[in-house]
Structure formats: C-alpha cells, structure tokens
Amino acid sequence: MQAIRCILVVVDPTLPEALALRRAHLISSISQSHLHLLLCDARPEQSAYLENLRESLEQQGHSVSIRRAWDGSVHQTIINAQQAEGCGLVIKQHVPDNPLKRALLTPDDWKLLRYCPCPVLMVKTDRSWAGGNVLAAVDVGNADDEHRTLHSSIVDHGYDIAALAGGQLHVISAHPAAMLSAADPAFQLKETIEARYRDACRQFQSEFDIPDDHLHIEEGPADALIPYACNRLDAVVTVLGTVARTGFSGALMGNTAEVVLDALESDVLVLKPDDIIEHLEELVAQR
C-alpha cells in the first residue's frame, strides 16, 4: 500500500465519526500519498465543509485536493472521480442498509465493490489498527495463474497493513466438505480433500512465508468461516479478493465480499486481478 500515490476519500458531513478520513490520514502519514476528498453531493452549500477539511489536513502536512460532484449515484460518482484523478485506493465508511431495503435494491457499497477499478477499503469501526491482527482470505485449493496472482496481491497487501499497524498477518482458506455426488473423485472423500489441501498449503506457505500458527485451513463455506475467523482472531482488517469465474459478462464479481461485508467486525479491503480492473476501466471509458 505504500506504493499508492493518490487516495480517494469519500467524505460525508452526515457521518460525524469521519472514519474513512481517519484511516486515510493514517495511511497517508506513512505512504505520503496525496488525499483527494470527494463529497457525493451536488449542492454548492457543501463547499465550505470540504474547504475546512482541506485546510485542516494541509495544516497537518498532507497534500490535499477536493471535489464535490454527483453523477446519478454514489458508486458511479466515486468511480468517475477515481478514474479522473488516477487514485490507487478508495476509502469509504460503510453504513449498512436495513435488511428490507437490501432485499429490494442492490446497496451502493456492493456496487462499488463490484465495479470500482481499484482496491476499496470499507471502514466499519473506529478501532485502532495499532498492534492488531490482519486477516487475509485466500483459496489455497485454486492454484491457477489468476488465483496465484490474486493470492500474491492479497498476502502482499496483508503484510503491508500489518507492517503499517505493527500487527500480525493471519491467513484463512476454506475447503469444501466431501460430496458423494462430486464429478471429481478427489472431492468425494474427506481424507482426499484434506490431503489435497495439505499439499497445496505447504506450497503456499513456502511461497508466501506463512508460519503454521498463522495459517488457518477449515472446512466449510467461506462466507461463514471468514467472519468466524475474524472474530476469533479479533482482526482489525480483513483482506479479500475476487476472480471472475466465467468471463466478464456484466463485470460481476463473486459475492463473498458482499455477503460478509456486514458480518465482519473489522475494516474490509477488497482487491481484484489486473484483468478485471482493465475491463472495468474500459466500461467506465465507454460511459
């Protein structure tokens, strides 16, 4: 994360905790990144709020620019600003939608995770990162080139955050339960699955320098095990990735990050592979 030169920070005067700004301040203090503050609001009377934020941050030694805009929706306004400014990270405070609204409409934060062509940090708590555990979620059982590249990015970002916070990196990977109906005989017996994952884990640990007591391999669905491990480890940040399974139709990401977003009791960093990012950038350019 220290290579990020520009961070887009979504600010909102209705959220007095300013959690996104606090995380951006922390990261920028270490990386010396430029901070671009975005207010998703077309009303000119909000300009004074932005100016006050810029003045305060510049007095603290930060390089800051500001923008007030509205492009029809929160997620599209953020993505347009991110592309215009070339920001390498978006930081936004996550405010959960009520369950009824979420059942009827796709939340803006979900859309941002799906379509933003750069890493997104969703800030959920006011807890200090200092000395806290960082949890990176990977799929050790998938060792194709796309997953290997994504695993590398997830672990690298996890190590960066752990170093920034003076904490420890832990890694979790879920493996499926045995299924008698599975087409692949390797997934029909629990012992075969465990042996397969043990082999994959040894290679993974060797490649990414993960000690035994910091690698957690468990049986079950990822969307249940990731929040469980996050809570057990008292993680302050969870790093997730996504890989498109079948082409880019609709530019849809896997929904694990969306499903666990409200369940996780930590901040959440979501990453995508370069080829998905390139496709999403093409979609933005076509608008």
Which tens digit of pLDDT belongs to each residue from 102-122? 656 778 898 898 889 999 999
Q: Domain check: are 162 and 42 in the same one?
A: no
pLDDT given at position 12: 94
What is the value of pTM for the model shown? Answer: 0.88
Task: Band the pLDDT of 245: cuts 50, 70, 90.
Answer: very low
Task: Band the pLDDT of 101: cuts 50, 70, 90.
Answer: low
Q: Is 128 contained in some domain?
A: no
Q: What is the mean pLDDT of residues 19-38?
A: 95
Is 70 exceeded by the pLDDT of residue 3? yes
Residues 191-211: tens digit of each pLDDT: 676 677 777 888 888 888 999
Query: What is the rounded CA–CA span in Å between residue 269 and residue 83?
Result: 19
Q: Domain check: are 170 and 113 in the same one?
A: no
Judge contact between 76 and 47, C-beta under 8 A.
no
Q: Domain check: are 274 and 175 in the same one?
A: yes
Give the residue from 261, 270, 28 showing the smallest Cα distance to 125: 261
Judge contact between 273 and 142, C-beta under 8 A.
no
Instruction: For 176, list phi and psi in degrees, rounded to 5.
Output: -70, 155
Last residue of a domain, which of 123, 153, 184?
A: 123
- Greater confidence (104 vs 71) lies with 71
Kindly report which listed range (75-79, 174-178, 210-214) carries the lowest average pLDDT score: 174-178
Q: Domain check: are 139 and 280 in the same one?
A: yes
Q: 10: domain range?
A: 6-123
Q: Is 1 contained in some domain?
A: no
Element (H, E) at 74: helix 74-85
Last residue of a domain, which of 79, 105, 123?
A: 123
Q: Domain check: are 118 and 146 in the same one?
A: no
Q: Domain check: are 80 and 119 in the same one?
A: yes
pLDDT given at position 189: 53
Last residue of a domain, which of 123, 152, 167?
A: 123
Is 50 exceeded by the pLDDT of residue 252? no
Q: Domain check: are 174 and 77 in the same one?
A: no
pLDDT given at position 249: 39
Q: Residue 32: which CATH number?
A: 3.40.50.12370
Q: Domain check: are 91 and 31 in the same one?
A: yes
The rounded Cα 71 to chain-centroid distance in angstroms is 23
| Strands of 89-93's sheet in order across | 64-69, 34-40, 6-11, 89-93, 120-123, 267-271, 235-241, 133-138, 168-175, 215-219
pLDDT given at position 185: 53
- Greater confidence (201 vs 153) lies with 153
Split into its structural domains, the chain has a count of 2
Q: Domain check: are 91 and 162 in the same one?
A: no
Supply the mean pLDDT for the chain. 85
pLDDT given at position 246: 39
Q: Domain check: are 42 and 89 in the same one?
A: yes
Q: Domain check: are 243 and 113 in the same one?
A: no
Q: What is the mean pLDDT of residues 151-176?
A: 91
Q: Domain check: are 41 and 97 in the same one?
A: yes
Q: Is 247 contained in some domain?
A: yes
